[in-house]
Amino acid sequence: MTLMEGYPQHADAVRLPEAPIHDDPAAFHNELRRTYGPVVPVLLDADVPAWLVIGYRELHYVTSQPQLFGRDPRRWNMLDRLPGDWPARLFVTWQPNLMYSEGEERQRRGGAVSDALDAIERTELTRICELVADLVTDRFCGDGEADLVAQYAQRIPAEIVTRLFGLPEVDLPDLVQDIHHLLDGGKEAASAYPRVHARMERLVALKRARPGHDVTSRLLAHAARLTDEETVYDLMVLVGASHAGSANWIGNTLRLMLVDDHFSMTLQGGRSSVSEALNEVLWKDTPTMNMPSRFAVRDCEVAGRRIRRGDLVVLGFAAANTDPQVQPAAHPAGSGANRAHMSFSHGEYGCPFPAPELGEIIAKTAVEVLLDRLPDVHLAVPPESLRWRPSLWARTLESLPVLFTPTAPVGKISWH
């Protein structure tokens, strides 16, 4: 029995791993729209069939209907036919965490996570972000050159998350590397997973014994009465998403402000366009492009496509955000203050409150501090030479090399 058997609509499906999605995703998605419409039959690695939802209205519908499209991957009708080394296996392997929970369990777990995050004082978070951004900038400000992806965007969220969650700072370098492996879904993901799990187990044991003023301690003390195992698995989701989402948001925003003339005024001394640039990135270069994260609860139809019970539905956030029906291409920064993008998903299984707000504080502060500290920062290479990492799931640069006038560090930083 082949993987394609029972999927007649996938006879002319798009093989996503071979698709030209990285350099110009908007053009690729528009071509898909012209050829297939808002719901596209696709083949993932090893020709595993799935449906990619690229229409904004269709994605809104799918994410608004938990009774039709569930989050539990044990529903997937292809799960027992996957190759053992399938690259995205970790995205579709059920775990007892918030991300895969449904119904009352989702509400219980989600309530605990939202309360633990909402207790983060916003002014204090901004102060921590400023201190971290200064600390990270101090490490290269005297060099006159830097890679703002590896040396800045990827460093700041990790150091902030370490402090918010009470993680030992000694774990930081290896934890960041392992998170990257997990989100890439490549060969290193299988070995990275148990290392991240073990770190979260040690963190939970530490905070159970000695609670502090951090997200982990608040989760353990919450009225939802999370078990240690539940807390470990939810922390894995929270730490990974908090770091990767914010890091890619920062990097993509810095790129936009360095290559787009509409935002060049900000690099010449002002802050007025930072919020606009952050929002523009969520519309045009959203950090999470696609997510293989819905499974049909029963036979149904979306945009004329017959989706069978157990089929995998891939949420095409990047494609939906550039759907011409909701995002006219009249102006390169046409999104303005419009925040109706799908970058944080939508509905019951969307990004939990107040995570998007906290992520924006981290990203906005990081960009503002860099502009304050290095006001003449500019690209060290032609814009067209910048390369996006080859991933179906995440939108992030391989590097962002810049030049600037060397400056002195701000000096020793106190966290108290």
Residue 333 has pLDDT above 60, yes or no: no
Note the pLDDT tens digit of each residue in 75-125: 999 999 999 889 888 889 999 999 999 999 999 999 999 999 999 999 999
Domain-embedded: residue 412 = no
In angstroms, the CA 277 to CA 153 distance is: 15
- Average pLDDT of the chain, as a whole number: 91
- CATH number of the structural domain spanning residue 395: 1.10.630.10
Residue 268 has pLDDT above 90, yes or no: no
Is the pTM of the predicted complex or chain greater than 0.85?
A: yes
Note the pLDDT tens digit of each residue in 125-181: 999 999 999 999 999 999 999 999 999 999 999 899 989 999 988 888 888 888 877
Which of helix, strand or coil describes residue 357?
helix
Domain-embedded: residue 12 = yes
3-8 contacts, C-beta under 8 A, 24 or more apart: 3/46, 3/47, 3/48, 3/49, 3/78, 3/81, 4/47, 4/49, 6/308, 7/41, 7/49
Domain-embedded: residue 17 = yes
Domains in the chain, number:
1
Domain-embedded: residue 392 = yes
Note the pLDDT tens digit of each residue in 383-408: 999 999 988 999 999 999 999 999 99
Token match 């270069």: residue?
A: 285
Note the pLDDT tens digit of each residue in 199-256: 999 999 999 999 999 999 999 999 999 999 999 999 999 998 999 899 999 999 999 9
Note the pLDDT tens digit of each residue in 371-382: 999 999 999 999
282-298: average pLDDT: 96
Residue 415 has pLDDT above 60, yes or no: no
Which of helix, strand or coil describes residue 334?
coil
Domain-embedded: residue 295 = yes
Q: How many C-beta atoms surround the C-beta of residue 207 within 10 A?
A: 24
Give me 316's structure tokens. 């095409």
Note the pLDDT tens digit of each residue in 18-51: 998 888 999 999 999 999 999 999 999 999 999 9
Diameter of the chain by CA atoms?
Answer: 65
Domain-embedded: residue 35 = yes
In angstroms, the CA 248 to CA 180 distance is: 11
Domain-embedded: residue 414 = no
Domain-embedded: residue 413 = no
Note the pLDDT tens digit of each residue in 130-141: 999 999 999 999
Nearest to 414 by CA among 158, 130, 126: 130
Domain extent at residue 352: 8-403
